[in-house]
Structure 1
Amino acid sequence: MPKPKNLWLHPAAKPLLFALCLLPLAWLVWAAANNQLGANPAEALIRGLGDWTLRGLWLTLAITPLRVLSSQPALLRFRRMLGVFTFVYGSLHLLAYAWLDMGLDFGDIAHDIAKRPFILMGFTAWALMLPLAATSFNKAIKALGGKRWQWLHKAVYAVAVIGLLHFIWMRAGKNDFAEPAVYGAILLLLLGWRLVRHYRARRASRSGGAISASSRLA
């Protein structure tokens, strides 16, 4: 049996990532069951799930830069799993808010979403993630076609920005901007890298087109 070219292609890599993605949830459940979430366990659980939603989203966005900069195309095979887990944590974050904060009173939830901007931002980010998660499987990619699927999944950038706004607005009530600033700086790097790469690719394409036209004229 041939050995994999690197660790990213090892058969155990995906199961290991799956287990790692479950660890934060396992810890939160254990801590909640054992009264280890502090004086306000409901708030700690809601915020913990929200934090891991953002972290999962940032890790998903980091796959492409890491793949390109490290020349490791095999990293791409982990992006879908990270994206799905991000949606799972986001859904659990929403469920915990709806259940522990609002008692599953959907009238109160709708009123709260309309009244508080940071709740509206969070719900909007989750709603945008929903079609991305629903089309994260091979059959959906085939049904949509590659180009349409890629355009749909560009909504992840909007999800990231709206999710960050949700986080900033939520912390603004306590004048706590230190952690949101760190998340914002990381997102700026992730999106900035993509913009620079896109600009360079367009410039190279135009240069190549000009050279080709000159060759034809010659």
Structure 2
Amino acid sequence: MSNVNSILRRVPVWLIYLIGALPAPWLFYLGMTGGLGVEPVKALEHELGELALQLLILGLAVTPLRRLAGLNLMKFRRAIGVLTFSYVALHLLVWLVLDVQILSQIWADILKRPYITIGMTGFALLLPLAVTSNNWSVRKLGPRWRSLHKLVYPAAVLGGLHYVMLAKGFQLEPLVYLAVILGLLALRLPLPRRKLAA
């Protein structure tokens, strides 16, 4: 694993941003050229939302991978977080601008449809994390910055629930995403200490 970590240390962070950003314009291109099927807006919403969840899971996996497998991705955690929020924001914008479009209907959906309420709550929790994902905020907030960024945990659970509730009928894939999120969060729980023998 040390060889892998040595290689990763030489990978520039901007490359992660570039690779992570590439799917977005490609998906919009497919949507405009008929590559996303008969309902391109719905398909675009789904693809962007799923990418956001995958990046969220990758971000949650950074600490367990370092602790359990010795794989150090800490250098890229901020980039992963920024990309996650970007895809969540794009997912939301497609729903707002291309799907619903009517302001009163948007507000009604947020209030009346639980899966949308949960999704919007998750977005609201991620918003302060995106705003403070910079060196100035880290210095200004000090130890509070780390506490603030623990909001990603409930946001991740809400994102997984949003996907499960959005799915029509029984679908395994959303449940797998939620299970992985819950599993990664469970790995962060402190292990109970064994009592020493008297």
> What TM-score results when the alignment is normalised by the length of structure 1?
0.83
Amino acid of the structure 2 residue aligned with 1:84:
V
- Measured on the aligned residues, the alpha-carbon RMSD in Å equals 2.1
Q: Distance in 2 between matches of 1:125 and 1:60?
A: 15
User: Which of 152, 163, 167 is matched with 2:163 structurally?
Assistant: 167
Kept in 1: contact 2:82–2:130 (CA 8 A): yes
Provide the residue aligned with 1:185 in structure 2.
Answer: 179
Aligned-partner Cα distance in 1 for 2:34–2:57: 29
**Residues 153-207 of structure 1: CA distance to partner in whole angstroms, max 9, x if unpaired?**
1111100111111111111xx2032111211221132112111xx225xx38x97
| CA displacement, residues 18-67 of structure 1 (integer Å, 9 cap, x when unaligned) | 22201221320221122100010010011111111111100110111112
The answer to which structure has the higher helix fraction is: 1
Matched, 1:38 2:37: yes
Q: Name structure 2 gaps, 5 residues minimum.
A: none
**1:100 alignment counterpart:** 98
Distance 2:138 2:129 in 1: 11
Please give the alpha-carbon distance, in whole angstroms, between the structure 2 residues aligned to 1:70 and 1:13: 22
Structure 1 partner of 2:112? 115
Task: After superposition, give the CA deviation of every residue in 1:85-122 in whole Å (9 maximum; x if it has no partner).
Answer: 1000000111000011211x322211110010001111
Q: Structure 1 CA distance, aligned partners of 2:61 and 2:109?
A: 33
Of 44, 59, 77, the match for 2:75: 77
- Preserved CA contact (<8 Å) 1:7 1:13: no
Match of 1:137 among 134, 138, 141: 134
- Hey, what does 2:191 align to over in structure 1? 199
* Structure 2 counterpart SS, 1:6: helix
What does 1:5-24 correspond to in 2, within 5 Å? Answer: 6-10=6-10, 12-24=11-23
1:156 aligns with 2:152: yes
Contact map agreement 2:161 2:178 (CA 8 A) in 1: no
Matched residue count: 195
Amino acid at match of 1:96: V
Over alpha carbons, which structure has the higher Rg? 1
Q: Deviations over 1:65-85 (max 9, x none)?
A: 112223244x10101100011
